[in-house]
Structure 1
Amino acid sequence: MKWKQLPLGPLQTNCYLLFDEEKQCIVIDPGANGEGLIQYIEQEGLKPLAICLTHAHFDHIGAVDEVRDHWNIPVYIHENEKEWLLDPSLNGSARHPMQPIAGKPADHFIQEEGTLSIGAFTMQILETPGHSPGSISYYLKDIDTVFSGDALFNGGIGRTDLLGGDHATLIDSIHTKLLNLPDHTIVLPGHGLSTTIENERTSNPYL
């Protein structure tokens, strides 16, 4: 199993393509530039099975409907943000100089932590709120990797001054859910470069 990082849009939000030897693929956080993203996926011969969202801020969801409709695939999101795909005032697009994002509902709502299986992919869902109320991280033990969204960055943490954000909740999420993962776990954040759990535990100035 492999992954590809694709920074998209003006905020360079990391979209990730998680794929296996059969070229089946999970699209994580398709934030913008849907046409280019679709072109890249087709160019690589990948076959998307689903879209998995770490959370529903506008810079992570801008290309959701375009990608979903192109392949007729389902979208997964935490139930605490089930209205955010539809409402620009919730996803934040109404407060930015851009086209407001008011898309369609997700197809599946994650209600609790546990195992999510899609095709040959098995991911552990970790609830990591604080940056937003429905923030989740996807942990794949088989490849020692966690997709942390905007909870934990390389040398930083997510902002908590947006709707539903809470600093104490975010710090608790990071310490109890993410930093408990094995030290060698690769952290793939929503923005910026990858890191490891060990690096963040030992050197992140916010922790």
Structure 2
Amino acid sequence: MALIFDGFSVGAWESNCYIIGCGVTKEGAVVDPGADAKKILNRVKKLGLQINKIILTHGHPDHLSALAEVQQATGAKVLIHGDDAEMLVDARRNLSFYMGKSVELKEADVLLKDGDTIQVGNITLEVIHTPGHTPGGICLKCARDIVITGDTLFAGSVGRSDFPGGSHSQLIASIKSKLLKFPPDTKVYPGHGPASTIGAEMRYNPFLTGAF
């Protein structure tokens, strides 16, 4: 399969950006270019990848502020779940308006839905719709033992649900029904903070054990 997988923190929000690539075809995708396009593009260059897709786990500015620059540099298509599509083009919907620096971008090239697959060379990514943080929040199953969880599930925590369109009960239901079904050794790569595993979150995450 020759999966190339690189994750790193970008920007003042310390959001995690991920680069996924196929070692055979050298095709690649950037997931959540939250800030610092130069850093992202330098990592892409070092990996020797041709980026043809930019995938957004959801439509908040800390996950897409470098999108325009990365897209301009790569010519990649932008993919987002249909329920978050308007957040790309509307600064009020993506909340950047209220942060003093409006981010309004072009419409996405591809609107995703639950169960879709995304090809990155010979690598197949599975789209898992996990609403709760945003209506169109998604996770990406990248391999048997790797899932990118965006702002749905963190190490020891879960995404905020107090933004417009958020729902805590929906978020927890999404996690329990769609993520906790994966094997315990599945690695969890979240939108912020360190990696974890499904097993560790099942045992110790207070939002999932009922401690909160």
TM-score, shorter chain, exceeding 0.5: yes
Q: Does 1:113 align with 2:115?
A: yes
Aligned amino acid, residue 122 of structure 2: A
Aligned to 1:30: 33
Aligned amino acid, residue 38 of structure 1: L
Q: Does 1:9 align with 2:17?
A: no
Distance in structure 2 (CA, Å) of the matches to 1:125 and 1:93: 26
The structural deviation recorded for 1:117 is: 2.3
Distance in structure 2 (CA, Å) of the matches to 1:19 and 1:115: 15
Report the more deviating stretch, 189-198 or 67-76.
Answer: 67-76
Asked if 2 retains the 8 angstrom alpha-carbon contact of 1:155 and 1:200, the reply is yes
Cα deviation, 1:136-191, whole Å, max 9, x if unaligned, reads: 1111234x100000000000000000110000000000000001111110000000
Distance in structure 1 (CA, Å) of the matches to 2:113 and 2:103: 24
Q: Of residues 64, 69, 87 in structure 2, which corresponds to 1:66?
A: 69
Q: Does 1:166 align with 2:167?
A: yes
Asked if 1 retains the 8 angstrom alpha-carbon contact of 2:96 and 2:103, the reply is yes
Q: Of residues 29, 51, 55 in structure 2, which corresponds to 1:52?
A: 55
What is the percent sequence identity of the aligned residues? 37
Coordinate RMSD, CA, aligned: 1.3
Aligned amino acid, residue 87 of structure 1: D
Report the more deviating stretch, 22-31 or 162-171.
Answer: 22-31
Which of structure 1's runs of 4+ aligned residues deviate more than 6 A? Answer: none
Distance in structure 2 (CA, Å) of the matches to 1:19 and 1:117: 10
Asked if 1 retains the 8 angstrom alpha-carbon contact of 2:60 and 2:95, the reply is yes
Q: Which runs of 5+ in 1 are unaligned?
A: none
Report the more deviating stretch, 11-20 or 40-49.
Answer: 40-49
Cα deviation, 1:46-76, whole Å, max 9, x if unaligned, reads: 2212111110101001011111111111011
Distance in structure 1 (CA, Å) of the matches to 2:91 and 2:123: 31
| Count of aligned residue pairs for this structure pair | 205
Cα deviation, 1:27-64, whole Å, max 9, x if unaligned, reads: 00000111232233223322212111110101001011
- TM-score between the two structures when normalised by the length of structure 2: 0.92
- TM-score between the two structures when normalised by the length of structure 1: 0.94
Distance in structure 1 (CA, Å) of the matches to 2:188 and 2:152: 11
Asked if 1 retains the 8 angstrom alpha-carbon contact of 2:113 and 2:129, the reply is no
Q: Which runs of 5+ in 2 are unaligned?
A: none
